[in-house]
A = this chain, B = another copy of it.
Amino acid sequence: MFAFLKINTMKLKDKKLTRSDIKRASILDAAMNAFQSKGFNATSMDDITLSAAVSKRTVYNHFPSKETLFNAITARMLTLFFTYEPIPFSKDISLEIQLKNLVEHEINLLTMDEFIAMAKVIFAESIHSPQLVQNAMSEFEEKGSPLVHWFEQAALQGAIKTDHPERVSMQFVAVIKGFCFWPQLIQNAPMPDEKQLDDIAQMTVQMILKQYT
């Protein structure tokens, strides 16, 4: 898990993977796993030290405090998911196909288990920190904004009939998350299998088509 982060690290220097880089990556990995499974408070720096196979002083040489480490992780996770290509609306492609693509796109994002992992880390802390994570969070929630943009375009061009495209967009995302995100986040529910995902996708597309065309 989180292999994708290591790859990122490697890409930067390619061959010059110094010991320091390895240690740092190891710390980030260990911290991410620990924060994910136990939360910020319940994770001690000694835990991280231990499972990163690194001395405590080394942790503090890379990250001056526990909070710094936490921020480094959230920042990393957030930027990762922010690199998120916008989706153009096209009047030349059938609405059904475009919607199907949108759903799949969204489901793919949500079903990455890294996504759930990240959400656990961040949400659990953010419920009780009005400002701390909140700012990053609001930005993060805008992740839906490419979707909003698509719906706005679709409405403008008359493909979808609504006075509130952003509301339709929210409805769209709400249904997907209701099946593929919240239960997994809160209750550790299993992700729906391929067939169920297909059904959910189809249902969501039908919902938009029947209600707004």
Contact = CB atoms under 8 A, between A and B. Distances in A.
Given A38-B128, A127-B120, A175-B175, A167 B203 contact: yes
A19 interface: no
Contacts of A173: 178
A25 to B, nearest CB: 24
Contacts of A164: 199
A38 B175 CA distance: 30
B127 A185 contact: yes
A128 B187 contact: no
Contacts of A141: 183, 187
5 contacts: A39-B127, A137-B186, A167-B199, A171-B175, A177-B182
A178 B186 contact: no
A188 B41 contact: no
